[in-house]
Structure 1
Amino acid sequence: MRVALRERMFCVWLRTMVKNRIVTVFDRYPEQTVQLKKLTDLFGKAGREQLVELLVSPIDRIQIDRRVAFVDDINARIKQSEATIRAMTKQNASVKLLKTFPGIGEFFARLIDAEIDDIGRFLSAKKLAAYAGLVPSTYSSGGKTYHGHIIKQRNKWLRWALVEAVAPAIATDPQLRGQYERLKSRGPNKAKVAVARKLLTIAFQLLRDQRPYERRGASGEECASTISRLS
């Protein structure tokens, strides 16, 4: 399952890289591409029509057309990967529980479940957060303990999924959004990490107790405490 999910992520990253290379080509024609850059989806129907109409050099036309075709090939591979993933997790109860969580859609639910594997491996939410690399590093000197940046040792896929899930989570859940806004004054990245850890803590509780997500009172103090340790 992890292999299938990571293949899908690789394809998405590859597609982004190819799209960026197309953008670097038409950036050489700023007067023609002013309107093109205003499109919300450059590679949607309207964007592609304008890409075809761009007056560029012969070699740039070849590069644009080849890379657009490559994007289409990658899209086909992504759909194949997603079909495989859906078939493998069709009856997965943990995935269904995680999907009740704000910000966690089909893909993130499957990825988080696969990377955690058996929730019984972790004695507490703190142990799971350490596994994901969402806890601050610590060191002691002169009888005092200091907290630094988040630890480097981690499951990079799980941490990536939780950090990416912050944006849709705070967009859909007012309580999580309120927590993020309160913590953002100390730095948006620190706020994002703190909320990501909050999401993972809730995911731990859902999987441990085998129950769907329910909105409760915001616990801003808990997140604020996390932020202070990350400072």
Structure 2
Amino acid sequence: MADVRIIGLDIAKSVFQLHGVDDAGATVLQKRLTRARLLPFFEKLPPCLIGVEACATSHFWARELTKLGHEVKLMPAQYVKPYVKRQKNDMADAEAIAEAVTRPSMRFVGPKSPDEQSAMMLHKVRLMLTRQLIMITNATRAHMAEFGLIAPVGRGGVDRLLAIIDDQTDERIPAQARSCLQMLVAQLRLVKLQILDNDRQVLTLARSTELGRRLMEVPGIGPLVASALVACVPDPSMFRCGRNMAAWLGLVPKQNSSGGKERLGSITKAGNRYLRQMLFAGAMAVIRRAMQGTRRTWLIRLLERRKPKVAAMALANKNARIAWAMMMSGEGYREPMAIAA
């Protein structure tokens, strides 16, 4: 055991596979452990480098193993996959992790604290509730349409349908169907209340940190995006520049270049999907406001050449780079006109 210097740990719910190598790269450990035996095993092991794929429960195990004196590095699973040899199984995965963690060009994921994970849980729960709201709304519309009751698109149309369901004197809906629709209405109203409560917690979270308050000064970055940025990027120094952070979020074009000829396509959609969606939604809000104004900013000039959604993606990329610069420098947001003056 004293010869083990690097361990590749393939985590799961109940069974964990280990692959350890020494300084020369020779395999000196291959072991399969249950959940209850994992931490006691590492308590007896001298401090070493442990590689883990950044997947479910990885941040928890990174914190626990770090407490025992080990150095833990998390890696995106797609970066580990090229090191898997032939057949895929737990032993091959652990060996690939041990190989990948030693690569100097490997990119790592910063372990999150419990508070940062709690902040992201707010966003994940909000996303789930929003999807449930859409599902219940669409189901209500579809069931009402079966009785010839159609409402316009939008919140006002849904409210009109809910009023019909609540009206016991309306004979266009059979009694049995009305009881089913009332179940959907009860769920719809509960989900709306839960989303409102979640939004209040997100707003409080964004305002509770100095960084969150500074980020909310950027046009297109509101409480949702600010709190998500603080939670998702605990250490901005892991990115060499703002462009790298924008690329990590998938806000850059795909490349299919060869022979010195550059071919760019649509955005890569890599990285954190939720954060990318929020940045894009904020950028669309800024564009809608810019199209109503008369100031000829770079955004207006861009809209003259490109479609609004393409311009929104460019603005989302710019906001990601601005956010990185503010995180690194500790400064507040400065309007471009003020910088030019």
Could you state the TM-score of these two structures normalised by the residue count of structure 1? 0.77
Query: What does 1:129-168 correspond to in 2, within 5 Å?
Result: 129-168=246-285
Residue in 2 aligned with 1:23?
141
Contact 2:220–2:319 at 8 Å: present in 1 too?
A: no
The structural deviation recorded for 1:52 is: 2.7
Q: 1:38 to 1:211 in 2, by over 3 A?
A: same
Matched, 1:124 2:238: no
Q: Deviations over 1:94-140 (max 9, x none)?
A: 11012112232222221232222322222211101111000111133
Q: Is the 8 A contact 1:170 1:180 kept in 2?
A: no
- Displacement after TM superposition at 1:70 (Å): 0.3
**Correspondence list, 1:164-203, <5 A:** 164-173=281-290, 175=297, 178-179=300-301, 181-184=303-306, 187-203=307-323
Q: Quick one: structure 1 residues 39 and 79, their matched pair in 2 at CA, closer, same or farther if it must change by over 3 Å?
A: closer
Q: Which amino acid in 1 is paired with 2:334?
A: E
2:287–2:312 contact (8 Å) kept in structure 1:
no
Corresponding position: 1:52 with 2:170: no
Higher relative contact order, structure no. (Cα contacts within 8 Å, ≥ 6 residues apart) = 1
Count of matched residue positions in the alignment of Structure 1 and Structure 2:
212
| CA distance in structure 2 between the partners assigned to 1:170 and 1:11 by the alignment | 27
Mean Cα deviation higher: 119-128 or 105-114: 105-114
The RMSD of aligned alpha carbons is 2.8
Report the 3-state secondary structure (helix = DSSP H, G, I; strand = E; otherwise coil) of the residue aligned with 2:256: strand
Q: More strand by proportion, 1 or 2? A: 2
Contact 1:176 1:195 in 2 (8 A): no
Give yes or no for the alignment of 1:41 onto 2:159.
no
**Aligned mate of 1:102, from 219, 243, 246:** 219
Map of 1:223 onto structure 2:
none
Relative to total residues, which structure has the larger helix share, 1 or 2? Answer: 1
Where 1:148 maps in the other structure, the secondary structure is strand
Note if contact 1:115-1:157 (Cα within 8 Å) is conserved in structure 2. no
State the 1:51 CA deviation. Answer: 4.1
- Per-residue deviation, 1:17: 1.5
User: TM-score w.r.t. structure 2 length?
Assistant: 0.54
